[in-house]
Structure 1
Amino acid sequence: MNRLVRPHQGRLIAGVCAAVADRFGCSVLPVRILTVAATVFFGLSIWIYLVLWILIPSES
């Protein structure tokens, strides 16, 4: 598995979904869909996204 870093390519907002998808070796589209669905239905994932944006380092 890859390190958890936010890539420069493939970002839409901050690259958090792309980082998670790269880490687990899956496509970024399902991760983005799950993130949006969790935000719409539960509302908590926006805060998790923001925390991960701060904690996950950007690719150098």
Structure 2
Amino acid sequence: MAVLTRPREGAWIAGVCAGLGERFGVPANVVRLLFALSCLLPGPQVIIYIALWVIMPRR
């Protein structure tokens, strides 16, 4: 089982989507697309992204 970390390579802004993609075996671009689409819905998506940016260790 992979540990949830932010990779240095393949990261666009903070590497959160790339790390989530690696952890769950999904391409990072799919995670990025899902995040972008989720921003169209009401909710705390940006706050969760920032929290993961702070919490997830850099690899």
Q: Normalised by the size of structure 2, how large is the TM-score? A: 0.91
The Cα shift of 1:41 comes to 2.1
The Cα RMSD (Å) is: 1.0
Give the secondary-structure state (helix, strand or coil) at the position aligned to 2:39: helix
1:1-60 deviation line (CA, Å, top 9, x unaligned): 31100000000000000000000011111100111111122252111000000000000x
> How far apart are the structure 2 equivalents of 1:58 and 1:4?
9
What amino acid is the match of 1:3? V
Q: Which residue of 1 aligns with 2:25?
A: 25
Between the two proteins, the alignment pairs up a number of residues equal to: 59
Give the secondary-structure state (helix, strand or coil) at the position aligned to 1:54: helix
On the 8 A contact 1:3/1:23 being kept in 2, the answer is: yes
Q: Which residue of 1 aligns with 2:13?
A: 13
